[in-house]
Amino acid sequence: ARAATTAVRGELIYFRDDPFLVGPEAAFVHEPDGLLICSDGLIHAVGPYSETRDRLPDGVEPAHYPGCLISAGFIDTHVHYVQTEIIGAFGEQLIDWLNEFTFVAEQRFDDPEYCGKVAEVFCDALLRNGTTSALTFCATYPLSVDCLFAETERRGMRMIAGKVLMDRNAPEDLLDTPQRAYERSKGLIEKWHGRGRAMYAITPRFAPTSTPEQLAAAGTLWKEHPGTYVHSHVSENTDEIAWVKELFPERKGYLDVYDHHGLLGPRAMYAHGVHLTEDEFARCHETGTALSHCPTSNLFLGSGLFSLSSAKDPGRPVYVGLGTDIGAGTSFSMLVTMNEAYKVAALGGYPVPALRAFYLATLGGARALGLDDRIGTLAPGREADFVVLDPRATPLMEFRTQRAESIEETMFVLSIMGDDRAVRATYVAGRLAHERQRGR
């Protein structure tokens, strides 16, 4: 056990509670010279260096990152690993983008070699950006799930993923029947859910590509496997919403399609929610359903502006995490995602302070996924996933941050100017998993 002990020293930043709902003092902890001791993949001790150094086992020398901020690892609450190769596909909004680029790309995932290659590139990109956990779509093929989990298991990453369910309105090769979708998902749940750090998400793509029968099968499967997730999309684009109305005229609205089939509740994560109504936000609150805010994607596809202020209304707050939504999203970086989230909210006259943005990317994401007892903050007993951020990563960032007068200002500038260059190191389960080389 001793051999598995690692320690890092630096400026610790982490959350105990939600800064959208409580004051910064209650929500946020800043330890200017902190020490984090990890053993066997978990955080063993955290505190001021002066008080915590006594707890270092003999012979363990902490890796020292002077001037760097150490945060819980970022959590990407919505991403498509199978779309890594189509980032930056030109010219279309959602439905045409799906047909022209996405469905074409996803048909390649019946090839184990290609799946393995993309899984590797995907995990490298996450870690390079300080993202230690993600909730990701795979393709329809069970193989695409096997290859991803094999890769995340090799790296010790906590990962939630699932095969896509579609039985209409997509190319034949990507379609299941309700029965086959049920059986194949069930097989994958039995194989992967709870194995090491892997968890399974039942993944109906979105209402237009599933019949009511397939959505019902997904609801049944979820009920039969408590602890698994539901992962889908909702109210991203106005043409999409009109299409859902045509396909499900008997339902009150888009969210109600999922509600009707038993697909709302804790551990259900819906991406986008750009055009949700007040009633729909209230229903998310009531059921514990979470939303993933994907600003780079919503801007890239011209989908619209997510209302973070409505979602996080303290009167009926909804769980919200941040998502990159690669490949409609344009960056794996959660810092870049915070930057775009700030701008989207600014257009609504709702400036998002750095503490709130970092919360969404860490503990907020963990809470949205019901994983805050394991990840999302720095506390004894939590899994030792964290990121070392360098506010002086570039000459311009160094010039700018030297005049920052508070930790909040440093964090804000980091979120506005930062990207993968600002990620000095990423640790997964207490082990160094990425380290930025000078000048790269």
Binding site for Zn ion (CB under 5 A): 271, 325
Distance CA 393, CA 300 (A): 27
* In the complex, residue closest to ligand GUN by CB: 328
Exposed / middle / buried, residue 122 (Cβ in 10 Å: 0-12, 13-18, 19+): buried
Query: Cα(131)–Cα(125) distance, rounded to whole angstroms?
Result: 8
- Report the nearest approach of ligand GUN to the CB of residue 36 (Å): 36
Which of 203/401 has CB closer to Zn ion? 203
Judged by beta carbon distances under 5 to 8 A according to partner kind, the member of Zn ion, ligand GUN, none in contact with residue 390 is: none
Output the smallest distance, CB 205 to ligand GUN, in A. 5
The count of C-alpha atoms lying within 13 angstroms of the C-alpha of 334, restricted to the half-sphere facing its C-beta, is: 34
CB closer to ligand GUN, 128 vs 233 = 233
Query: For ligand GUN, which residue of 39, 132, 289, 297 counts as binding (CB under 6 A)?
Result: 297
Closest separation between CB of residue 132 and Zn ion, Å? 20
The two three-digit tokens of residue 121, written as one number: 């590139």
Residue 424 interacts with, from Zn ion, ligand GUN, none (CB under 5-8 Å by kind): none
- Given a contact cutoff of 8 angstroms between Cβ atoms, the answer to whether 131 and 101 are in contact is no
Nearer to ligand GUN, 328 or 371 (CB): 328
Cα dist from 30 to 3, 235, 424, whole Å: 29, 37, 19
Residue 206: name its binding partner from ligand GUN, Zn ion, none (Cβ under 5 to 8 Å by kind).
Answer: ligand GUN
Helix axes 142-155, 112-128, angle to 10 degrees: 40
- Cβ(62)–Cβ(8) under 8 Å? yes
Euclidean distance between CA atoms 298 and 300, whole angstroms: 6
- Residue 146 binding partner per list Zn ion, ligand GUN, none, with a CB distance cut-off of 5 to 8 Å that depends on partner kind: none
Stretch that binds ligand GUN, among 94-102, 120-128, 256-264, 371-379 (CB under 6 A): 94-102
- The residues in 178-217 that bind ligand GUN, with binding defined as CB under 6 A, are 205-206
Give the footprint of ligand GUN on this chain (CB under 6 A): 80, 94, 98, 102, 205-206, 233, 236, 297, 325, 328
